[in-house]
Amino acid sequence: MEPKVLLIGRSKQVVDILKSELKNYGRDIIGTENNKEAVYQILRSHQVDIVVIGAGLPDDVRMEIKEFIIALRPGLPVNLIKRTPDSNPQKMIDYVNQKVAEFKEMRKSSIDTKIKETKTNEKESEIKESQTAPIVKTGSGLHYTIIKHIIEKGYAPDIETLSNIMNSDVKEVGTALFDLQDEHGVVLHPNQPKIWVIHPFALAPTNFIVKSSKGLWWGNCAWCSLGIAALLKDDASITTNLGAHGEQVIIHIKGGEVQEKDLYIHFPIPMKYAWDNVIYTCSNMLVFKDENQIDLWTKRHNIPKGDIQTIDKIWKFSKKWYGNHLDPNWKKWTKKEAREIFLEFNLTHEVWDLENSDSRF
């Protein structure tokens, strides 16, 4: 998977030229001139893996923007190309390509490190080879194993646990996780095969807590939280705050029905852009009490107003959308299949528009 690079330079014109040239090398580039607000918005709305700051900016300015980025995203690699008398755009292109290669090698070595850490368990793994367990030859088996573990334990299995459960080599599991991420079946932490999100479950704190007699989980958004309740096939409650900062509400699912039917869910991000940054997309699918509250919220946060649906309708939709997620033969919906499901539930606002193709959603 190609890492996403944020390129920061003195001139937007030069940055745009570099973006165009680097895309010829297959690079995934976002570019901006030195502007803190622009950088903030990019880091907020994109899962950036590498930052490269050009040599055209003064050193004190480059250090200031580097410190600004590190404060926003601790651990994000921020690289400053060396200033030389003969600095030129081609050197920037070479430098970015070098950093991308280093990033890919680092990601590969993170998997190799995990392999070394599990060498002490080789004997146990050999014993387990004779036992019956899912094999990690398809994304379906891996996806099923992760979802099942989260429902049963309340947290995601690490790569060693997956290796043991699936009787598979750690390196094979790591590769399979990255493949599953490419299929939009999971979201991993940057640079490592560690599960961050597997829809509908979030593996880090969010504005949605789902509880049932079986346990407690975080949902990524209103849609996902209803999806968790649907997967549990149990009475459940969803605790959240209106608009993520307003009144706390508890939504109850009893006997397969939502009890608080007078609430609404806002979908501001078009589905065709959902996976540009799925974390950002999910974080904006929130619960509100009425359309007026949504209007005030969108103006306050400068987020475009999208589609508004009743919570009861999205509950029924979620049962269909997530109905196959605990299936050993799970497969990702294609865009064509997603369109058909949207239409089945009369989700016809432009937010739900997708191309009619067999590529994965």
Q: Where are the domains of the chain?
A: 4-113, 123-194, 201-328
Contact 178, 187 (CB under 8 A): no
H-helix or E-strand spanning residue 237: strand 236-241
pLDDT digits (tens, 9 = 90+) for 5-40: 999 988 888 889 988 999 899 999 999 998 888 898
User: For the stretch 115-129, what's the b/e string if a residue is b when 16 or more beta carbons lie within 10 angstroms of its beta carbon?
Assistant: beebeeeeeebeebe
3-state secondary structure of 221: coil
Contacts of 220 (CB under 8 A, 6+ apart): 197, 199, 200, 201, 202, 206, 208, 279, 282, 283, 285
Q: What is the pLDDT of residue 86?
A: 78
CATH class of 123-194: mainly alpha
How many angstroms separate the CA atoms of 239 and 248, rounded? 7
Which residues does 58 contact at the CB level (< 8 Å), separation at least 6? none
308 and 265 in contact (C-beta within 8 Å)? yes
- The CA-atom distances, in angstroms, between 358 and each of 275, 278, 328, 333, 361 are 16, 20, 21, 9, 9
Over residues 91-113, the pLDDT tens digits come to 889 999 999 999 888 877 776 67
The predicted pLDDT at position 34 comes to 87
Please provide the DSSP assignment of 175-192 as one string.
HHHHHHHHTTS-EEPTTS
pLDDT of residue 114: 65
State the chain's mean pLDDT as an integer.
90
Low-confidence ranges of the chain (pLDDT < 70): 111-112, 114-138
- Give the DSSP per-residue string, 27-71: -EEEEEES-HHHHHHHHHHS---EEEE-TTS-HHHHHHHHHHHHH
Instruction: Name the residue among 4, 58, 65 with its Cα closest to residue 31.
Output: 4
Q: What pLDDT is recorded for position 336?
A: 96
**pLDDT the model gives residue 234:** 92
Residue carrying the six token digits 């094999």: 135
Intrachain domains 4-113 and 201-328 with the same fold: no
Query: pLDDT value at position 149?
Result: 96
Q: Provide the 8-state DSSP code for 25.
A: T
Q: Are 298 and 327 in contact (CB under 8 A)?
A: no
Topology, domain 4-113: Rossmann fold (3.40.50)
pLDDT given for residue 131 in this prediction? 43
pLDDT of 129 reads 42
Query: Under CATH, which number does the domain 201-328 receive?
Result: 3.30.450.410
